[in-house]
Amino acid sequence: MQRNPNNPNIDISAVQPEGLNTDTMDPEAISKLIEQAKSRLDNITRNVNGHSPLERAQTRRNHPLLNEYYQLAEQEYQRADGKGPNTSRIDQVKHGRTILFWAIACFQSSGVVSSLINLGSNPEEEIYHDDMLKPFSPLFYAISLGNTEAVRAILSHNPELTMQENEYGATPAHYATELRAINVLEVMFEFNKKVARIRTGSELTPLHMAVEARHDDIVAWLATHDHHAEDEPSVCNIGNRNQFTPLHLAVDNNQASTVAVLLKHGADYRLVTGPHASSANKTPLQMAADAKSCDIMRLIIQHGAATDPHLKIALDVLDYIDRRVKQPQHKRTVLGYTNIFGYDLMYDVNDKISACKALIQNIVKGDEDPLSNLTSNQRGALRQGELRDVVLPLIEVHALLTRDPSPDNSLRTSPSLNSGNSN
């Protein structure tokens, strides 16, 4: 009896380098070999200390050993007449493994997988790869292993399987995203250019899942592989059933790095959530304000300031606070800042504070003219110091922002601070 040096529990004496020659063997001898191979395959997949020999070989990408395992599988699934594999045979009712499972599990080439499908293997069959009886389709199983050769072979046979759903309603793209498998996503992209936009029943895109999983590299990949028509929104701006866009989700999870990636790739900070969302009728900026997420507020304001003059004003305010207010010798309350400036200004400090509150409130709300309800003194206070004399601690910003959403989801332009009269 010849033992496998990598696993002494497995007898490989029947395995020949070029495979068995069954042409001269009678059916009874072939059946006997099949039963022997079946017993060895059971050993290969039996858990020992939490992992089976097959799983260990997969993890280590031990291809010589995986090839030996596949040769054993070829013996078990050999047709009685010795002419190729029986593609419909299962090893046990319990697991339902076919020869296609073994080709994927043992990382055989895309040619081998394609050949089995052409011989009758069903790429939509349901298999159970372990004793937990967790069901997988061949495609999902290949993704779980990061087996891009098998993924390519299966999708070459049927590209529509990029839309296949598992028992949880996730598609292959969602599953690959969860596993952070960019190489698998790249293969799927070859067969479906809209793979980044596929939605689950709850309207979640793979991008939503990438944000939830905090995989910023996948977020960037999906955002840059978004193919859509001109009249369709960017994948960064697709909402789920509660109109939570990926940006809303990143803000809700306090993921500043993800917010930065999404803004860089075109996420719209002006969109509002739906009326039944946990944070109903909110823009990402309003959500960040409610959560006192100062870093995220700055990211959004800084991004919008490039094109929106009102957010540029807000950015000036935050810049000033960073330079002058966030110093340890000053208390972080509005009343604690009056001694910074003294009282030799044309307008009272309280005018500046109230003007700043009102202006930011109106900007975030999306008023057509954020200056419209300011008093003459407040407008004058804003003009005199260009908001740089205004005291507004970051820790209190959230209380200054309106909780009412902009009715048209947009921040509109308004007359310049330096134009018109102050009435």
Cα–Cα distance between 148 and 219 in angstroms, integer?
Answer: 20
The pLDDT of residue 406: 39
Tokens of 127: 């298999």
Q: Is residue 218 a part of any domain in this protein? A: no
> What ranges in 53-205 are assigned the alpha helix state H?
53-60, 63-76, 99-105, 110-118, 138-145, 148-157, 172-178, 182-191
- pLDDT tens digits, one per residue of 4-21: 343 343 333 333 333 455
Do residues 252 and 289 make contact, with C-beta atoms less than 8 angstroms apart? no
Structural domain span for residue 62: 1-137
Q: Is residue 338 a part of any domain in this protein? A: yes
What is the count of structural domains for the chain?
2
The pLDDT of residue 228: 87
Q: Is residue 394 a part of any domain in this protein? A: yes
The pLDDT of residue 408: 36
Q: How far is CA 251 from the centre of its chain?
A: 14
Cα–Cα distance between 313 and 411 in angstroms, integer?
Answer: 13
Q: Is residue 277 a part of any domain in this protein? A: no
Cα–Cα distance between 232 and 148 in angstroms, integer?
Answer: 30
User: Which residues have CB under 8 Å from 207's CB, separation 6+?
Assistant: 196, 219, 222, 223, 235, 236, 238, 246
Cα–Cα distance between 63 and 224 in angstroms, integer?
Answer: 34
Strand partners, 85: 78
Q: Is residue 177 a part of any domain in this protein? A: no
The pLDDT of residue 70: 94
The pLDDT of residue 292: 73
Q: Is residue 270 a part of any domain in this protein? A: no
Q: Is residue 74 a part of any domain in this protein? A: yes
Given 137, 167, 191, the domain boundary residue is 137
Tokens of 416: 């310049």
Cα atoms found within 13 Å of the Cα of residue 250, Cβ hemisphere only? 32
Given 115, 137, 159, the domain boundary residue is 137
User: Which residues have CB under 8 Å from 275's CB, separation 6+?
Assistant: 281
Under-50 pLDDT residues of the chain:
1-19, 324-347, 385-423
Angle CA 343–375–363, to nearest 5: 100
- CB count, 10 Å around CB of 286? 25
Could you tell me which of 109, 33, 112 has the C-alpha nearest to residue 77? 33
- In total, the chain counts a number of residues equal to 423
Tokens of 260: 């930065």
Torsion of CA 326, 330, 332, 334, to 10 degrees: -110
- pLDDT tens digits, one per residue of 105-122: 999 999 999 999 999 999
Q: Which value, in Å, is the radius of gyration of the alpha carbons in the chain?
A: 31
List Cα–Cα distances, 402 to 8, 298, 367, in angstroms.
71, 17, 11
Cα–Cα distance between 70 and 108 in angstroms, integer?
Answer: 8
Do residues 259 and 220 make contact, with C-beta atoms less than 8 angstroms apart? no
Given 84, 113, 137, the domain boundary residue is 137
Tokens of 26: 């009678």
Q: Specify the pairing of strand 127-128 against strand 7-11.
A: unpaired
Could you identify the residue written with the tokens 């009715």?
Answer: 407
Name the pTM for this structure. 0.70
Cα–Cα distance between 298 and 189 in angstroms, integer?
Answer: 35
Cα–Cα distance between 403 and 225 in angstroms, integer?
Answer: 35
Strand partners, 136: 127
DSSP 8-state assignment for residue 233: P
Q: Is residue 244 a part of any domain in this protein? A: no
Could you tell me which of 48, 42, 131, 54 has the C-alpha nearest to residue 91? 42
H/E stretch holding 380 reads helix 376-385
The pLDDT of residue 208: 96
